[in-house]
C-alpha cells in the first residue's frame, strides 16, 4: 500500500511555518544526524572492511537523504578489541580505514556537500596499546602512573590475592586486571584492553583536551558524540558495589561510576577550556540516569556542559536490569515504550535543555526487529509507522546507517559464531563456562543475544542485491544479511513507494514544520493502551496529532476528547485510512485545525 503524504497541505503549511520565526534555528537542534559505523558502511579496496574512501564515495547518497550532519564512529588507531572504542592514538587513523589525509578529505567532502561531521570522543578509557598506558604500566614511579587507576590487591585470610573491589565490567568478569610488572591491579569498566583513564589527574585531562579534542576541532570537525559521558568521576576510595545478585562474584557498580561527584566539574572545565572556543555540537551518551533533574544538569544551557544526551530508557526496553542478556527480551509492553519515550521528550518542556530522538545506533539491535513487525506481510507498513513516529519526535533526530532502508536483525538460525562483538561473545562464553552443557541455559542465552546483541547493527550496509550486498568485492568481516536481496539502497532508490523515499519525505516535512515537529511539546494520550500509541506535538501556533497501531490487528481509534478542532491528514503509511479504525501497523499524522 503506497504511503500518503498530503502535498497540498504540507507545502501550504511550510509557507506558514516560514513566517513563524518563533522557534530556535540553532543548526544542531534542527539538523538530522546520520550515524556511520566505518567497519560496516562501504569497503573501497576489497579487504572486506569498510573504510574512509568508501564513505566519501557515498556522500552524495547520504546528502540525498536530507540529513545534515554525519556522526562517524571511532576511526582512530586501535587494536579493535571493541571495534575502535579502544583508542591507541587519538591523532592517528585505524590503518584499514585509511589515512589522516583520507580523514581530511572526508571532513572537506562533508562540508562541500553542505553537511557537518561529528566524531566519537572516547575518553573514559584508552586502549592498553596507547603510549600513555604503556608508560603508566612501565613502573609505579612513572609520571604517567596516575593517568590511569591503579590499586594494590586485597588478600584473604589465607593469603589469596583479590582485586581491590567487587566491581563487574560491562563485558563480564572483574573490572580489575592484574599487572605482573608492577604488582598492582588497574581498573577497566569495559574490556581488560580498555584501561580507565584517571580524570582526577589534571595533567591527564589536559592531554585529553589537546590530543583527543583540539587536534580534531582544528582539523574542522563540527563536534563530538561523547562516549560514556557520565563515567569519568568515580566514588572516592572506589568502595565495593552493593550486592545485587548474590550468585555472582562481581557486581554492577553503576552507583559508583555513573554521575560521580566531580562529573559536572569536569564537563564544565571541558566546555570552558575547549568546546566554548568553537562553533561545535556535543551529544553525550548517558546510561543509567533515569532521574530527569540529573539529566537536565548535563544539558541545561546555563550549566555550560553538553548540548544534548542520549538517554537509554527506550533502547534498554526488554533488557535485563542488572545484566543486559539475563532477560526475556519480549517481556515489554507498549506503555513501557511510551513512558520511556516520555523521559527524553519531556526534558525540553519549560527548560533550557535539549534532547535527542533515536531508536538505533551501533550498540542496539535493529528497531524494526525489536519494535516493528517481523511478519513479511506487515514489515513494510510497520517500518513506515516507526518512521512516522520517530520523525515527529522533538529534539535532534539521529538515524543509524541502514535504518533508512529498513535493515533487520541477523536471521534467527545464524549460530553464535556470527556474533563477533566483545559484549555478546564474552557473555555467551561466560554462560557456557557455567552451564555444564545444559542446552536450556545455552539456548536461553542465545535467544537473548539473537534479540538484543549489538552485532545486529554491524552487519554490512546493504547497497544492492549482489553478493555481499555491494558492500565489498572481497570477503566481508561480518556475514552479509541474505535479506539484501530485497532490502537494499539501490532497489529502494528505484521504488518511489519505498521506506527510503518515505524517510526523505518525512525529513523534509520535519524541516518544513520544525516548530512542532522538532520543537513542539510532547503529550501522550491513552497511555495504558497496549496496542495503540496516540500523542500530540504542540507549539505556539500549531498542534499535530499522531496515531500509531503497534499491532497486527485493526484497532478502534478516536480523536482524544481533550483535542478540539478538525483533523487535517498530513501523513499516513497506508492509502485511504478509515477514520475510526487504525489498520494493522498503521501510522497517521494529523494537523489539528
Which residue, 287 or 395, is less far from ligand TEU as judged by CB? 287
Instruction: List the x/- string, 515-554, binding to ligand TEU by CB under 6 A.
Output: ----------------------------------------
Query: 439, 448 in Cβ contact below 8 A?
Result: no
Give how many residues touch ligand TEU by CB under 6 A: 14
Q: Is residue 286 a contact point for ligand TEU (CB under 6 A)?
A: no
Interface with ligand TEU (CB under 6 A), residue from 55, 70, 75, 122? 122
Q: Is residue 102 a contact point for Ca ion (CB under 5 A)?
A: no
Which residue, 263 or 524, is less far from ligand TEU as judged by CB? 263
Q: What is the CA radius of gyration of the chain?
A: 24
227 is catalytic: yes
DSSP code of residue 460:
P
Instruction: Provide the phi-psi class of 199: left if phi over 0, else alpha when psi is between -120 and 50, else beta.
Output: alpha
Shortest CA distance to 78 belongs to which of 137, 133, 34, 116? 133
Active site residue: 43, 68, 285, 360, which one?
A: 285
Shortest CA distance to 478 belongs to which of 463, 494, 459, 502? 459
Which residue, 50 or 395, is less far from Ca ion as judged by CB? 50
Which residue, 41 or 250, is less far from Ca ion as judged by CB? 41
Cα–Cα distances (Å) from 573 to 6, 112, 371, 376, 582, in that order, read 11, 34, 16, 16, 11
Q: Is residue 400 a contact point for ligand TEU (CB under 6 A)?
A: no
Residues in the chain: 593
Q: Is residue 51 a contact point for Ca ion (CB under 5 A)?
A: yes
Instruction: List the x/- string, 293-322, binding to ligand TEU by CB under 6 A.
Output: ------------------------------
Positions of E strands within 195-254: 223-226
The minimum distance between CB 192 and ligand TEU, in angstroms, equals: 13
The minimum distance between CB 511 and ligand TEU, in angstroms, equals: 28
Grid cell listed for 360: 538505533
Which residue, 455 or 515, is less far from ligand TEU as judged by CB? 455
What is the distance between the alpha carbons of residues 246 and 519, in angstroms, rounded to a whole number?
Answer: 46
Strand partners, 225: 120, 283
Interface with ligand TEU (CB under 6 A), residue from 287, 372, 395, 406? 287
Query: 494, 405 in Cβ contact below 8 A?
Result: no
Interface with ligand TEU (CB under 6 A), residue from 324, 338, 384, 451? 324
Identify the helix (H) or strand (E) that includes residue 17. Answer: helix 7-19
The minimum distance between CB 362 and ligand TEU, in angstroms, equals: 6
Q: Is residue 454 a contact point for ligand TEU (CB under 6 A)?
A: yes
Query: 427, 325 in Cβ contact below 8 A?
Result: yes
Q: Cα 268 vs. chain centroid, distance in angstroms? A: 24
Q: Is residue 212 a contact point for Ca ion (CB under 5 A)?
A: no
Residue 404: contacted member of Ca ion, ligand TEU, none (CB under 5 to 8 Å, by partner type): none
Instruction: List the x/- string, 488-527, binding to Ca ion by CB under 5 A.
Output: ----------------------------------------
Which residues in 203-242 contact ligand TEU (CB under 6 A)?
Answer: 227-228
The minimum distance between CB 369 and ligand TEU, in angstroms, equals: 15
Shortest CA distance to 304 belongs to which of 353, 355, 346? 353
Which residue, 51 or 423, is less far from ligand TEU as judged by CB? 423
Query: 50, 39 in Cβ contact below 8 A?
Result: yes
Residue 45: contacted member of Ca ion, ligand TEU, none (CB under 5 to 8 Å, by partner type): Ca ion
Cα–Cα distances (Å) from 259 to 262, 305, 390, in that order, read 8, 13, 28
Which residue, 454 or 537, is less far from ligand TEU as judged by CB? 454
- Chain residue whose CB lies nearest ligand TEU: 85
Which residues in 77-116 contact ligand TEU (CB under 6 A)?
Answer: 82, 85
Instruction: List the x/- string, 342-371, binding to ligand TEU by CB under 6 A.
Output: --------------------xx--------
Q: Is residue 170 a contact point for ligand TEU (CB under 6 A)?
A: yes
Residue 122: contacted member of Ca ion, ligand TEU, none (CB under 5 to 8 Å, by partner type): ligand TEU
User: CA angle, corner 294, sides to 289 and 297, nearest 5?
Assistant: 130
Query: 79, 193 in Cβ contact below 8 A?
Result: yes
Shortest CA distance to 266 belongs to which of 317, 303, 296? 303
Grid cell listed for 290: 533515569
Residue with cell 513506515: 384
The widest CA-to-CA distance across the chain, in whole angstroms, is 81
Cα–Cα distances (Å) from 132 to 136, 142, 301, in that order, read 6, 10, 34
Residue 51: contacted member of Ca ion, ligand TEU, none (CB under 5 to 8 Å, by partner type): Ca ion
Q: Is residue 227 a contact point for Ca ion (CB under 5 A)?
A: no
465 is catalytic: no
Residue with cell 557498580: 253
Specify the stretch interacting with Ca ion by CB under 5 A; choose among 39-47, 162-170, 377-385, 419-427: 39-47
Q: How many helices (H) and strands (E) does the chain have?
A: 19, 23
Active site residue: 13, 227, 363, 455, which one?
A: 227
Residue 170: contacted member of Ca ion, ligand TEU, none (CB under 5 to 8 Å, by partner type): ligand TEU
What is the distance between the alpha carbons of residues 549 and 584, in angstroms, rounded to a whole number?
Answer: 6
Query: 385, 372 in Cβ contact below 8 A?
Result: yes
The minimum distance between CB 48 and Ca ion, in angstroms, equals: 7
By the criterion CB under 6 A, which residues form the site for ligand TEU? 82, 85, 122, 170, 190, 227-228, 285, 287, 324, 362-363, 423, 454
Active site residues: 227, 285
By the criterion CB under 5 A, which residues form the site for Ca ion? 43, 45, 47, 49, 51
Amino acid at each position: 500500500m503506497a504511503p500518503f503524504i498530503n502535498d497540498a497541505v504540507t507545502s501550504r503549511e511550510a509557507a506558514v511555518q516560514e513566517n513563524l520565526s518563533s522557534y530556535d534555528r540553532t543548526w544542531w537542534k534542527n539538523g538530522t544526524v546520520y550515524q556511520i559505523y566505518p567497519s560496516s558502511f562501504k569497503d573501497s579496496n576489497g579487504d572486506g572492511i569498510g573504510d574512509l574512501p568508501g564513505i566519501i564515495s557515498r556522500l552524495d547518497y547520504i546528502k540525498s537523504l536530507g540529513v545534515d550532519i554525519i556522526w562517524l564512529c571511532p576511526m582512530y588507531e586501535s587494536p579493535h578489541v571493541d571495534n575502535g572504542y579502544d583508542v591507541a592514538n587519538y591523532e592517528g587513523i585505524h590503518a584499514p580505514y585509511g589515512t589522516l589525509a583520507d580523514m581530511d578529505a572526508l571532513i572537506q567532502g562533508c562540508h562541500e556537500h553542505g553537511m557537518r561531521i561529528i566524531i566519537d570522543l572516547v575518553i573514559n578509557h584508552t586502549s592498553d596499546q596507547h603510549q600513555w598506558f604503556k608508560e603508566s604500566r612501565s613502573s609505579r614511579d612513572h609520571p604517567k602512573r596516575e593517568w590511569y587507576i591503579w590499586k594494590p590487591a586485597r588478600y584473604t585470610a589465607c593469603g589469596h590475592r583479590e582485586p581491590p573491589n567487587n566491581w563487574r565490567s560491562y563485558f563480564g568478569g572483574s573490572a580489575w586486571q592484574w599487572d605482573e610488572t608492577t604488582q598492582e591491579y588497574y581498573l577497566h569498566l569495559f574490556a581488560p584492553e580498555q584501561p580507565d583513564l584517571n580524570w582526577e589527574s589534571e595533567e591527564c585531562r589536559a592531554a585529553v583536551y589537546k590530543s583527543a579534542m583540539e587536534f580534531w576541532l582544528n582539523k574542522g570537525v563540527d563536534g563530538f558524540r561523547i562516549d560514556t559521558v557520565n563515567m569519568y568521576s568515580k566514588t572516592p576510595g572506589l568502595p565495593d558495589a552493593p550486592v545485587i545478585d548474590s550468585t555472582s562474584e562481581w557486581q554492577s557498580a553503576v552507583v559508583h561510576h555513573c554521575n560521580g561527584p566531580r562529573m559536572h566539574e569536569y564537563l564544565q572545565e571541558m566546555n570552558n577550556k575547549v568546546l566554548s572556543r568553537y562553533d561545535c555540537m556535543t551529544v553525550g551518551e548517558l546510561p543509567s540516569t533515569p532521574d530527569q533533574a540529573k539529566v537536565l544538569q548535563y544539558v541545561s544551557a546555563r550549566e555550560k556542559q553538553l548540548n544534548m544526551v542520549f538517554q537509554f530508557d527506550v533502547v534498554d526496553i526488554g533488557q535485563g536490569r542488572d545484566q543486559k542478556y539475563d532477560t526475556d527480551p519480549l517481556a515489554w509492553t507498549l506503555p513501557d515504550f511510551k513512558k520511556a519515550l516520555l523521559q527524553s521528550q519531556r526534558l525540553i518542556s519549560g527548560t533550557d535543555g535539549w534532547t535527542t530522538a533515536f531508536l538505533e545506533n551501533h550498540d542496539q539491535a535493529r528497531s524494526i526487529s525489536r519494535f516493528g513487525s517481523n511478519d513479511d506481510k506487515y514489515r513494510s507498513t510497520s517500518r513506515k509507522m516507526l518512521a512516522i513516529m520517530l520523525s515527529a519526535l522533538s529534539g535532534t533526530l539521529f538515524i543509524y546507517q541502514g535504518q533508512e532502508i529498513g535493515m533487520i536483525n541477523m536471521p534467527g538460525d545464524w549460530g553464535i559464531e556470527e556474533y563477533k562483538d566483545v559484549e555478546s561473545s564474552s557473555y555467551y562464553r561466560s554462560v557456557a563456562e557455567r552451564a555444564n552443557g545444559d542446552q536450556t541455559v545455552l539456548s536461553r542465552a542465545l535467544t537473548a543475544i539473537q534479540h538484543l546483541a549489538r552485532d545486529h547493527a554491524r552487519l554490512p550496509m546493504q547497497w544492492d542485491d549482489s553478493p555481499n550486498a555491494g558492500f565489498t568485492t572481497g570477503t566481508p568481516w561480518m556475514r552479509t544479511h541474505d535479506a539484501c536481496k530485497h532490502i537494499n539502497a539501490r532497489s529502494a532508490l528505484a521504488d518511489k513507494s519505498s521506506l527510503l523515499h518515505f524517510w526523505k519525505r518525512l525529513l523534509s516535512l520535519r524541516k518544513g514544520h520544525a516548530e512542532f515537529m522538532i520543537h513542539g511539546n510532547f503529550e501522550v494520550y491513552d497511555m495504558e493502551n497496549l496496542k495503540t500509541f496516540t500523542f500530540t506535538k504542540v507549539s505556539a501556533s500549531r498542534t499535530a496529532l499522531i496515531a500509531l497501531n503497534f499491532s497486527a490487528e485493526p484497532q478502534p481509534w478516536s480523536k482524544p476528547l481533550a483535542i478540539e478542532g478538525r483533523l487535517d491528514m498530513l501523513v499516513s503509511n497506508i492509502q485511504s485510512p478509515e477514520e475510526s479504525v487504525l489498520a494493522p501497523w498503521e501510522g497517521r499524522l494529523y494537523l489539528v485545525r
